């Protein structure tokens, strides 16, 4: 059996031609200039996956405001996706607006989404890809545990802030227990910068300084 290797952080998202509920697409070209949350689910017409798709759709506008698109995937045929989306619309009164990839197994293999110890279905993987097509975050959930969509939304926003402002973000940002919604200044690179650091910013020490974001970035 050929080994499945998942991409690593910082790698470019692989170029793949896929079939989706919105027609054929070339990834990541189809989302050029935008952030993307690419996520796989084990199977259509399953309870946990249904709750996830409903939850993603409830936050669809929030992702769009962050210049971020969603695209789902599982090893199911297009007609199964279409019927499932129809079921969600009819029974849960929610129209899924993002495309779903119908994979024959090649995409899952390419991205390392099938873990032998968990059967033949794809795991709940999430890739956050930036406008430069670089993979910025990877999350893997087991089949029995649904994702936290608010955390994924927080990650997209946090990665955008970190990229634009050249900062790091504390635990539970923007509600950190120590520095609230402040962001962390990168460590100084020389002794002089270390001495000046505490004069310029708030902090616990020269290696732990923080500042507030401009209001428009919050």
Active site residues: 49
1 contacts: CB under 8 Å, gap ≥ 6: 116
Strand partners, 69: 36
Please check whether residue 208 is in contact with residue 184, taking contact to mean a CB–CB distance below 8 angstroms. Answer: yes
Q: Which residue has the tokens 């310029």?
A: 200
CA angle 133, 139, 141 (to 5 degrees): 145
Q: Residue 65: how many CB atoms within 10 A of its CB?
A: 10
Radius of gyration of the chain (CA): 20
Phi and psi, residue 107, nearest 5°: -65, -45
Q: Which residue has the tokens 């990650």?
A: 155
Give, as one character, the DSSP assignment of residue 130.
Answer: -
């Amino acid at each position: 059996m050929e080994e499945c290797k998942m991409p690593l952080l910082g790698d470019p998202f692989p170029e793949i031609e896929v079939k989706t509920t919105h027609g054929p697409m070339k990834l990541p070209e189809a989302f050029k200039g935008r952030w993307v949350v690419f996520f796989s689910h084990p199977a259509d017409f399953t309870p946990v996956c249904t709750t996830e798709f409903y939850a993603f759709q409830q936050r669809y506008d929030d992702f769009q405001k962050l210049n971020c698109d969603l695209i789902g995937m599982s090893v199911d045929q297009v007609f199964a996706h279409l019927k499932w989306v129809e079921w969600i619309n009819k029974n849960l009164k929610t129209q899924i607006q993002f495309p779903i990839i119908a994979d024959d197994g090649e995409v899952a293999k390419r991205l390392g989404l099938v873990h032998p110890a968990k059967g033949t279905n794809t795991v709940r993987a999430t890739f956050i890809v930036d406008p430069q097509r670089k993979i910025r975050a990877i999350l893997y959930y087991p089949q029995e545990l649904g994702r936290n969509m608010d955390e994924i939304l927080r990650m997209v926003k946090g990665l955008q802030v970190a990229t634009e402002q050249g900062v790091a973000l504390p635990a539970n940002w923007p509600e950190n227990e120590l520095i609230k919604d402040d962001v962390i200044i990168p460590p100084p690179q020389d002794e002089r910068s270390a001495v000046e650091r505490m004069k310029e910013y708030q902090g616990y020490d020269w290696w732990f300084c923080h500042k507030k974001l401009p209001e428009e970035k919050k």
